[in-house]
Chain A
């Protein structure tokens, strides 16, 4: 049984936002303007040391969202993917406060940006509705996992910075990479000489 994980190699991430639009593309049936399940965050923007990381739901093993949800709408699949049920979600936003990554998203179309049903990255694994059903597509988007594929964001990553898949395989790839390049300095970006 696999444990699905994301890992973003910050030395490879160039903040091209391919992962963001890949997600929009693949899950277009469920997410409209204003919802971004995945985002790229840049540190030290415009200075030596600038580094970017692509972030979405990290599908935590001990997920704080799941722990705090008063409606108990979260569940974990046998592949370790954290999903939630939009039918039982009450849109309270507790998960948003609990999440260390800011993954939960709320529709912004209505007045005051009020809550509505929470939306977040599904690891392209749909939701509790039957696989490939109309309801699943409209509420959660794609179900690539059921098709035997990995999340679109990682599959389309321009520089192979964003990795997704079984934790063991992902860490093997990353370990091999860092060993080969010698991982100077920190896990973040590079710091060029200037002046």
Chain B
């Protein structure tokens, strides 16, 4: 529909005209693309299946309850199935998260049942041609090549890229799978999503997850979004946010761009990308100056605020205005609003995390909430929105290069705990690993290679990496490599490896962006609608999904593919020791039961399959305000039993909706900050003082529970005889009977102890957050005062900081470039760009540029432009001239791929799998830069130049 006819006018006006928005602009700029895509839509798929339109209306309908597989809000869906075909989708008005609502992606979910562009069967690239394989042959070849590489280069030469699209059960099994192969080179997109949050926040107060829930935002009186744009990234969260606003809450949006969320705000603060810490310190300056901090809360529950108070003195208003760009008046206004309007919540996403100081950014946000005393209350908290539907779960299950499931770490004790759960001999598991220390690091107990830098594991001089040899083969199991920066190196690494294996419903970039003619395998994985299992939403609730349809074409569920490979590699017996296997399919409920026996640290122990299915069947009994069931079979429980759901399923813990909430009994989901770092630091007590959860028998801080502590407290005899046997010599994390947890909770105590949150994280390179200018900064005048780190080894890889920052690129590349999301697409975009209902809405890759910068360059709206990277790459995209970005700053969405530096990759795809929309990947021109703790990549600030193409 055209409200105004102006196909040609778009190119003559630099101003978006009334009624012409981003999408219409791009569509009019790209009628040709639409035409091509439409034509390719008509080309029949290789294997036609029954479609909805072939099925008469009166065919009996089965309704399945499932969960959207896009973002982490976790929207419920009623999927209607007739004759095995997904023919309808109905709103789940009774679902406690979304009440029937969906964004563009959720409302287009049924397209997953079409899968026109999916991989249809296993394939391999041979002599430049895609050749069809049988599953048996594919597993045999892939498996054998891995074994050959293992023999020559050791187990660490295989990289296991995992997925945030796995169910919890599959994520758990994949981590176990990598462990049994004998490597910690396993990771997934959480690395480039919220790894800095997990590290920074967990090190502040115990757990690195969203502390409250989407629903609880309804109860906030103030909300500050920093580097978060839920209108595009978590649209259904806006249902709760706008409800809160309509009840009177004030919304502050802090972002380099005037986002769609900013359009709903009361106050929009522009900050220069990469200045989050000075921004937060700028607020704290006013808070401390005016005595607006919550001193009682700080005295009882916070350690090290005095250090922060000292540091903040270095950030007076004028200095903050100079670094950040926000006015002194505005900073005061925002600080005052936050101080006077409580409870208030802070929401952050990738805008905060994807920086080389990401871990410190997340700690700074926490410190602000601690100073305001906004933690552990309804309407407060740090509502950290995760990205993918199960990135929370995949993180929890340790699909990470530095932990085992449940954040147990990689120390020998952690390995022994999991061997105990798996009922396997520790020595056998150990024997699977490389036994030699490499550059002083023991491969089994040291951090592996991160998702963000597997290509450096391939390309770096092997004498400089802390493992036996380079990576020679990688499984890209549900991950798009166009989400990784430094596109040229990614391509070079794909070219160089001996074998590339893609396991995915779609070919993805790992399958097509290389320049190989051989040695690439594509194994078709099924989506989550073709299997079943649990998924953890951002708010830590677990939701059970039912299977909607049978796997499409020849695709197989991920856990089946893992089992087949385990069999080829000869460890399928150990892999599924206590898991029933039907044919080649391990039983999903048994996986849940197995992790229930091991995930004590974060309370993934009470959520048995039976309890989760009961919640699934009773969506409508949970209240949308409180998430609790006032009656019905789940009476008193919180929807999805958000972790920690303590103890065994029989204990019937209701789950913990709001973390660290002292106003509630632990048995009803209350708690306090975790005692994770001992009881004292530099002679200071770091346990809580005079603060404890409601009903606690210990009316003060206390350390984490162990067998010895139970004995000292005289509570040992509360354990049953069997529990005593299991608990002897163990603690709350390793007692697999759950007895220690049960007894602690019976006495009103939380198993992990009661400590203060810490502002000082003494085990990190910066023990308090410090501003450091981005590696690629236009503010050369600030580099001397706020320098980055010295180059250093992080985990297994040498990592550059100073070497890069020392070079001045600001003359040739004067524009700051940042990246982000569009509502229609998700992640690397292969799946969503293959969905015609979505693809039609975003047909062109573009860059947002301010009218001033565009005029300086003779660029008009809709022009083709080059974006040049200081590292050499150059992409061709459309210019969107818009005041959403300020002069000197540009923005690109990162979901596009299929064009590489001006050249289409279309011919590299297997027939019939080219997505409806392709475009240049933003990350081709995004540059070097990694968080010093977690190896998060810096995608939110770099430099570029834009010129007319």
Contact = CB atoms under 8 A, between A and B. Distances in A.
Interface of A: 11-12, 14-22, 24-26, 28-29, 32-34, 36, 39-43, 45-52, 55-56, 101-103, 105, 108-109, 132, 134, 137-138, 149, 152, 155-160, 177, 180-181, 189-190, 192-195
Contacts of A105: 1
Contacts of A181: 245-246
B268 A19 contact: no
B41 A33 contact: yes
Interface of B: 1-3, 16, 18-24, 34-35, 37-38, 41, 52-53, 56-58, 89-91, 98-111, 231-232, 235-236, 238-239, 242, 245-246, 253, 258, 260-270, 327, 330, 333, 823-824, 836-838, 840-841, 848, 882-885
A149 B106 CA distance: 19
B103 A16 contact: yes
Contacts of A12: 242
B238 A158 contact: yes
A65 B822 CA distance: 35
Nearest to A39: B1
A155 B232 CA distance: 20
Contacts of A41: 3, 19, 21, 24
Contacts of A109: 38
A41 B884 CA distance: 16
A59 to B, nearest CB: 15
Nearest to B237: A158
Contact of A32 (B38, B111, B238): B38
B38 A25 contact: no
Given A25-B107, A45-B882, A50 B263 contact: yes
B262 to A, nearest CB: 6
B53 A138 contact: yes
A132 B38 contact: no
B21 A55 contact: no
A36 B107 contact: no
A36 B239 contact: no
A25 B840 contact: no
24 contacts: A11-B242, A14-B231, A16-B231, A18-B235, A21-B105, A22-B108, A33-B38, A33-B840, A40-B21, A41-B3, A41-B19, A42-B21, A43-B19, A46-B885, A50-B263, A55-B3, A101-B3, A158-B98, A158-B236, A189-B264, A192-B262, A193-B268, A194-B268, A195-B330
A43 B16 CA distance: 9
Given A15-B21, A17-B23, 14 more contacts: A16-B235, A33-B840, A34-B38, A41-B19, A45-B882, A46-B16, A46-B884, A47-B883, A48-B258, A49-B263, A149-B90, A156-B102, A159-B239, A190-B264
Contacts of A49: 263
Closest 3 pairs between A and B when the two form their complex, measured CB to CB: A46-B884, A102-B1, A42-B21
Contacts of A51: 263
B265 A159 contact: no
Nearest to B41: A33
Contacts of B235: 14, 16, 18, 158-159
A156 B107 contact: yes
A152 B333 CA distance: 43
Given A45-B884, A132-B58, A194 B270 contact: yes
Contacts of A134: 56
Given A14-B260, A46-B16, A109-B38, A159 B882 contact: no
B22 A45 contact: yes
Contacts of A158: 98, 101-103, 106, 235-236, 238-239
A29 B52 contact: yes
Contacts of B57: 132, 137
Contact of B110 (A18, A25, A56, A195): A25
A31 to B, nearest CB: 10
A22 B269 CA distance: 34
A21 B838 contact: yes
B837 A24 contact: yes
B22 A155 contact: no
Contact of A180 (B24, B246, B261): B246
Contact of A159 (B109, B242, B885): B242
Contacts of B56: 134
A97 to B, nearest CB: 10
A192 B34 CA distance: 36
A24 B108 contact: yes
Contacts of B18: 43
B945 to A, nearest CB: 22
Given A24-B108, A138-B53, A158-B238, A17 B824 contact: yes
Contacts of A18: 101-104, 106-107, 235
A156 B53 contact: no
A177 B330 CA distance: 31
B422 to A, nearest CB: 42
Contacts of A194: 258, 267-270, 330
A11 B243 CA distance: 11
Contacts of B268: 48, 192-194
B258 A50 contact: yes
Contacts of B258: 46-48, 50, 194
Contacts of B53: 28-29, 137-138
Contacts of A17: 23, 103-104, 823-824, 841
Contacts of B265: 190, 192
Contact of B883 (A39, A40, A46, A180): A46
Contacts of B837: 21, 24-25, 28
A173 B685 CA distance: 55
A156 B264 contact: no
B41 A102 contact: no
A164 to B, nearest CB: 12
Contacts of B263: 48-51, 189-190, 192
A137 B919 CA distance: 34
Nearest to A49: B263
Nearest to A138: B53
B239 A160 contact: yes
A43 B17 CA distance: 8
Given A32-B41, A158-B239, A192-B267, A102 B3 contact: yes
Contacts of A152: 107
B107 A177 contact: no
A29 B884 CA distance: 38
A45 B16 contact: yes
A26 to B, nearest CB: 8
Nearest to B823: A16
Contacts of B23: 17, 40
Contacts of A48: 258, 263, 268
Nearest to A38: B1
Nearest to B75: A158
A149 B23 CA distance: 30
Nearest to A30: B53
